[in-house]
Amino acid sequence: MRRDDLQGVRGFSIIIVLLFHLFPKQFANGFAGVDIFFVLSGYLMTMMYSTKITDVTGFAMFYRKRLLRLLPMYAFVIVATLSFGHWLMTNIDYHYAKDDSFDALVMATNIRNLCRQLGYFDQINDFSFFMHTWSLAVEVQYYAFVPFFFYVCRRWSSVGSAVVNAISGASFMFAWFADDTRAFNSVFARIWQFQVGAISAQITAEVSEDHGYEKLPLVEKDEERECVKETSHIPKVRLVLCALLFALLLPEIPFLTQKEVRIYATLIAAVLFALPTENLCLFSTRFFTFFGDISYVLYLIHWPVILFFPGVDSNFASTLCSRHFFLEKRLLTNSKASLIFTLSCYVTCGCLIAAPLVETQNREPYYPSINNPPYYWSKSTYYSKTWPRSVRIENAIYKHEYWYRLGWKAVILAPGCDPEEYGCKLQLGKSNLSVLAIGNSFAARAFPGLYEALKDRVGTLELKPLSAWEVLNKLSYDQFSADCLECEQILDYARYQETDILFIINSDQEEEERRREKREEKKTASRTRTTKLQGPITRVAPSIAADRLEGLRFRYKHNFTDPIKGPLDKEPLMIKAVEELEKLSKTTKKIVLSGILRRFPDDGPNPMSRLHRWLHFNRNLSAIATYPYQEFLDQHSQTLIRMNYLVSKCPKCVYFDMQAPLCNAEKTECRTFDEESYLSYYIDYSHLSIAAVEKIMPSLKAFMDELLETI
């Protein structure tokens, strides 16, 4: 005999989770269904295993049964998702899915989320195909603790119970005081919920014994069966508890935060499970028990299905039923077949993850023939305002794919530059003016913008970049020593080269980004690193005051962002930077200091990948279209002060504000993509795309007009 009310609560839980994923605003509390799962899991494990784990054999039995219960269908869904994804996902999504699938296979999705500081709602917005596996990872990680809990409680009854209760209490306190990301993803923040279910099971057993009831045998193969006879009184309390659980269907529960909703669902479910039953509960109906029967398979496949097929029809239910009865049921009744099937799925997943990405969408973007294009790259950003929205979106998707496939080669070289060389020197012959740009990869990617702004006005235009080099940072950092030979060679060239305008353009590349770039260079489809010069370029007077620097932010990372601990004229970093600017000023008429945009967090898809995904799934883009301008300002408070100091000490220095053209006139928010073409302004986490370069060109040309008049 099984308790249909437990199975019905399981069905109710999966229903509200499904509704939450389909309609997150209308069923905002549906996430609590997972909390009920944890309570039910703790309840059932206690009923089934608490008296059986007395030695090593008991431990082995526990892990064998639990893992063979969870892993076969779990591994199968990962294989199926990757296999279907090869044809249905965009190449960018498939790249991320392969990375995420490894975390899912080793039951570490929640750990990945902790490392990336991803909350549950962040994951939903990022459309991770294995987002939902975090809860199963938490449960499997809980398995590392629970057999020992059973053992110590049985071996040392009072002391063992006290220890386990203390751990549970500490878990609750951690969940209460931790931030939302840790409270959601950390197994230690979830132990208390499993243990509440365990206490509920103990109460059930005690009530049965007190009333002289005989516990009926458990049906272990389904691991959700247990029975107990009950008195015949009308379960009024149970009806109230059922009604309180149904409140989770409301868009909001007054006065309760998300964390409090999780506690609310946990405690109500635990009390409901502890009550004796004659299956008179509302959840004992066939509707709920049916969903309870298929809850595990439904949970595993619902999220990939939602992403692959946003419009799910009636065939969805029949697909679930067939998978449940013809695959899961058979695997549950044959341990050997289940083990072989699981190992086969893991091996297949490993092969899919290790295999190079085979391009499935090789159609080139639409590059029309344009007469007298405004910029030499105009074919790359072309779209027509007469195209319907669907065509413009399709064009953007293909171009994002194309940029992604090009990887670092997506840098659009200025005409005449050698694609095999990092630097470039162009003899344009339009005047006697000479322009030199130095810096890191951001200087290289800004160079096409400089070319378009100056091609008809200067005689020589030259680029000398060095990867990850911060020109004015003369102290040691990361792989660069204070006496970097290559750095000094470029600086010597700039010091002794008679130059009318010297651009110093660099931005940070954090160590994690460098490691990621090295990893992804080995992959067939490396992430794109295309950036160009940006920004409304506003000239800054040498005596600029601090309040005039509100729009100035430079992407100096190493040392420049360190807290300022004293007068800047005594700081070694500033002393050396001022000395270098003085040397460069001797052979240069104007020095243009420039930085790039704010850097986006690298704990998930970058802005282009996220936009590409949302376009592919035809989602409302308003949530990712803009970001607060204040986020840009907040990243460099210490750099701002240092740059103000340097500009005040350098009479020949002016500044490019590269951020403003991507923001509104009030500088309250900035865009991540062009609202008409749907082309991303970013190639990765900080570099700009050629679409963004095009956006800043009017401001750049206006700045150069003003600057050239002073020479």
Q: Is the pLDDT of residue 642 over 70?
A: yes
Q: Is the pLDDT of residue 228 over 70?
A: no
Supply the pLDDT for residue 229.
44
Most confident of 13-22, 110-119, 371-380, 636-645: 13-22
Q: What is the mean pLDDT of residues 529-550?
A: 29
Q: What is the mean pLDDT of residues 608-630?
A: 89
Q: What is the mean pLDDT of residues 548-560?
A: 42
Q: How far is Cα 681 from Cα 663, in angstroms, rounded to an integer?
A: 12
Domain match, 55 and 168 both: yes
Rounded to the nearest angstrom, the gap between the alpha carbon of residue 158 and the centroid of all alpha carbons in its chain is 45
**DSSP, res 663:** B
Would 371 be classed as within a structural domain?
no
Most confident of 234-238, 310-314, 411-415, 682-686: 682-686
For 13, residues 6+ apart whose C-beta sits below 8 A from its C-beta are 33, 34, 36, 37, 40, 295
**DSSP, res 61:** H
Q: How far is Cα 129 from Cα 338, in angstroms, rounded to an integer?
A: 24
User: Which tokens sit at 421?
Assistant: 């060389």
Domain match, 319 and 423 both: no
Domain match, 473 and 339 both: no
- In this structure, what are the phi and psi dihedrals at residue 501, rounded to the nearest 5 degrees? -130, 125
Domain match, 337 and 408 both: no
Q: Are 542 and 424 in contact (CB under 8 A)?
A: no
E strands in 538-647: 588-594, 626-628
Q: What is the mean pLDDT of residues 407-428?
A: 81
Would 316 be classed as within a structural domain?
yes
Supply the pLDDT for residue 546.
29
**Sheet of 424-427, strands arranged across:** 424-427, 460-465, 434-439, 499-505, 588-594, 653-656
Q: pLDDT tens, 229-249? A: 444 454 678 888 888 999 998
A 10 A CB-CB count for 625 gives: 15
Amino acid at 354: A
Supply the pLDDT for residue 598.
84
The helix-helix angle for 4-22 and 258-274 (nearest 10°) equals 160
Q: In 3D, which of 101, 118, 92 has the Cα closest to residue 181? A: 118
- pLDDT band, residue 366 (cuts 50/70/90): low
- pLDDT band, residue 207 (cuts 50/70/90): low
Give the least confident one: 64-68, 172-176, 497-501, 540-544: 540-544
Would 275 be classed as within a structural domain?
yes
Q: Are 679 and 381 in contact (CB under 8 A)?
A: yes
Supply the pLDDT for residue 678.
96
Supply the pLDDT for residue 677.
94
Would 279 be classed as within a structural domain?
yes
Q: What is the mean pLDDT of residues 188-215?
A: 78
Q: What is the mean pLDDT of residues 55-66?
A: 90
Q: What is the mean pLDDT of residues 629-637?
A: 85
Q: Is the pLDDT of residue 545 over 70?
A: no
Q: In 3D, which of 94, 164, 167, 103 has the Cα closest to residue 136? A: 103
- pLDDT band, residue 482 (cuts 50/70/90): low
Supply the pLDDT for residue 323.
57
Domain match, 569 and 420 both: yes
Q: pLDDT tens, 446-475? A: 899 999 999 999 999 999 998 888 888 888
Supply the pLDDT for residue 364.
52
Q: Are 434 and 450 in contact (CB under 8 A)?
A: no
Domain match, 345 and 264 both: yes
Supply the pLDDT for residue 274.
87
- Helix, coil or strand: residue 593: strand
- pLDDT band, residue 336 (cuts 50/70/90): confident
Q: In 3D, which of 668, 711, 674, 710 has the Cα closest to residue 693? A: 674
Mean pLDDT of the chain, nearest integer? 80
Domain match, 337 and 396 both: no
Range of the domain at 58: 4-354
Supply the pLDDT for residue 213.
44
Domain match, 395 and 295 both: no
Q: pLDDT tens, 70-98? A: 999 999 999 999 988 877 777 777 887 88
Q: How far is Cα 523 from Cα 99, in angstroms, rounded to an integer?
A: 12
Would 655 be classed as within a structural domain?
yes
Q: What is the mean pLDDT of residues 6-18?
A: 93
Supply the pLDDT for residue 278.
56
**DSSP, res 601:** P
- The CB-based long-range contact list for 650-653 (8 Å cut-off, 24+ gap) reads 650/542, 650/578, 650/581, 650/582, 650/585, 650/591, 651/542, 651/585, 652/542, 652/585, 652/588, 652/589, 652/590, 652/591, 653/540, 653/542, 653/581, 653/591, 653/592, 653/593
Rounded to the nearest angstrom, the gap between the alpha carbon of residue 366 and the centroid of all alpha carbons in its chain is 30
Domain final residue, candidates 354, 371, 405: 354
| pTM of the predicted model as reported, rounded to 2 decimal places | 0.66
C-alpha distances in Å from residue 457, one per residue of 378, 570, 701: 21, 41, 11
Q: pLDDT tens, 108-129? A: 999 988 887 766 655 555 567 8
Supply the pLDDT for residue 260.
92
Q: Is the pLDDT of residue 41 over 90?
A: yes
Supply the pLDDT for residue 125.
55
Q: Is the pLDDT of residue 221 over 50?
A: no
Domain match, 56 and 133 both: yes
Q: What is the count of structural domains for the chain?
A: 2
A 10 A CB-CB count for 368 gives: 10
Domain match, 298 and 397 both: no
Supply the pLDDT for residue 21.
87
Would 119 be classed as within a structural domain?
yes
Supply the pLDDT for residue 503.
94
Would 40 be classed as within a structural domain?
yes
Q: Is the pLDDT of residue 288 over 60?
A: yes
- pLDDT band, residue 420 (cuts 50/70/90): confident
Domain match, 445 and 504 both: yes
Q: Is the pLDDT of residue 430 over 90?
A: no
Q: What is the CATH number of the domain that holds 670?
A: 3.40.50.1110
Length of the chain: 711
Q: pLDDT tens, 162-184? A: 999 999 999 999 999 998 889 99
User: Which tokens sit at 423?
Assistant: 């630097």
**Secondary structure tally for the chain: helices H, strands E:** 29, 8
Would 361 be classed as within a structural domain?
no
The helix-helix angle for 134-142 and 109-116 (nearest 10°) equals 110
- pLDDT band, residue 535 (cuts 50/70/90): very low
Q: Are 478 and 558 in contact (CB under 8 A)?
A: yes
Q: What is the per-residue burial (b if ≥16 Cβ within 10 Å, else e) of 154-172?
A: beeeeebeeebeebbeebb
- Helix, coil or strand: residue 503: strand
Q: How far is Cα 55 from Cα 147, in angstroms, rounded to an integer?
A: 10
Burial of 486 (0-12, 13-18, 19+ CB in 10 A): exposed
Q: What is the Cβ-side half-sphere exposure of residue 438, based on CA atoms within 13 angstroms? A: 20
Domain final residue, candidates 354, 377, 406: 354
Domain final residue, candidates 310, 329, 354: 354
Q: Is the pLDDT of residue 673 over 90?
A: yes
Supply the pLDDT for residue 501.
95
